[in-house]
Amino acid sequence: MQYRTLGRTGVQVSSLALGAMNFGKIGRTTQVEATAIVDAALEGGINLIDTADMYSDGESEELVGKAIAGRRDDIVLATKAGMPMGDERNHRGSSRRWLVTELDNSLRRLGVDHVDLYQVHRWDPSTSDEETLSALTDLQRAGKIRYFGSSTFPAYRIVQAQWAAREYHLSRYVTEQPSYSILQRGIESHVLPVTEQYGLGVLVWSPLASGWLSGAIREGQEITTSRSTFMPERFDTATPFNRARLDAVEQLAKVADEAGLTMIQLALGFVTAHPAVTSALIGPRTPAHLHSQLAAADTVLSADVLDAIDAIVAPGTDLAAHEKYDTPPALLDPSLRRR
């Protein structure tokens, strides 16, 4: 396992981090299975665990909390807030009212008195940067969080938040958590240059592109991954963008074979090769999934392999741009671009 400094914090984190989204009802992962995954992850050298309040409606945090009991100080613990937690209109977003309340809920579920990294899950257009940053700064000063970061923010919002922190003399986001994989490389053209400029740590999610790069999806085979059962439209190979993904996967499989690598090693080795990336979040649903991904912990891709990947999916290109979560709201809602 390689270790890298998380932005400018001085905290050393593993190049592969354990994402706990599949813990609980989302991945049908029990406490016994979650604990086994955490045990194996720590044994494999992972020291950063990332979860969120909304993963399985809080169940993920509960499972993580029980799994790390007795070894909290050996783990860099991260969670997130901001996505809806029920139907109540104020149980979401990044207002002071909600972040203060929901952090206490997360700490209770996790069974800890602080988290190392608290992340705003999505940019909240209805809340000012000053409101959010002042609340996070106060939580930091209270000792409930050590650092805070953003997740899936557009590049211009990352910049704006950095300037707001300076203007109002508040603590700043020290990390960003974007989606990044061989098939979704758009952040290379905007987000990653900004995170490098401001010295942010980068924890990338979905490095296996929701299973497209796991080796389980190939031409002529029925797609039976867990994700495809509840998001079938993302795996319908009759659509042009999914056809493009499948074509790219077939070419990438040849590159992996020639290099003596699995598809998982190719995919994880690619994202962790970028100098702006600190860690790749892996989200195993079973111990077997974890071990197949831990095999990529020491993978270093040669320049020839990286060049071959560039020839298949050009740098800065998203093969499914419509699946991005950092699109400006006015591009999705016509009412926001009409007078």
List, by residue number, the catalytic residues.
55
Q: Rounded to the nearest 10 degrees, how much is the dihedral formed by the CA atoms of 37, 208, 83, 60?
A: -10
- The closest alpha carbon to 320, from 167, 131, 179, 200, belongs to 179
How far apart (Å, rounded) are the C-alpha atoms in residues 103 and 144? 8
CB neighbour list of residue 278: distance below 8 Å, 6 or more residues apart: 4, 5, 6, 7, 13, 15, 175, 201, 202, 203
Paired sense of beta strands 12-14 and 3-5, if any: antiparallel
Q: Give backbone dihedrals phi and psi of 49, rounded to 5 degrees, phi first.
A: -120, 130
Q: At what angle do helices 287-294 and 263-273 cross, to 10 degrees?
A: 60
Contact criterion met (CB below 8 Å) for 339 and 209: no
The angle formed by the CA atoms of residues 144, 52 and 18, to the nearest 5 degrees, is 100
Neighbouring-strand partners of residue 147: 117
Three-state DSSP string of 168-204: HCCCCCCEEECECCCCECHHHHCHHHHHHHHCCEEEE
Paired sense of beta strands 115-120 and 145-151, if any: parallel
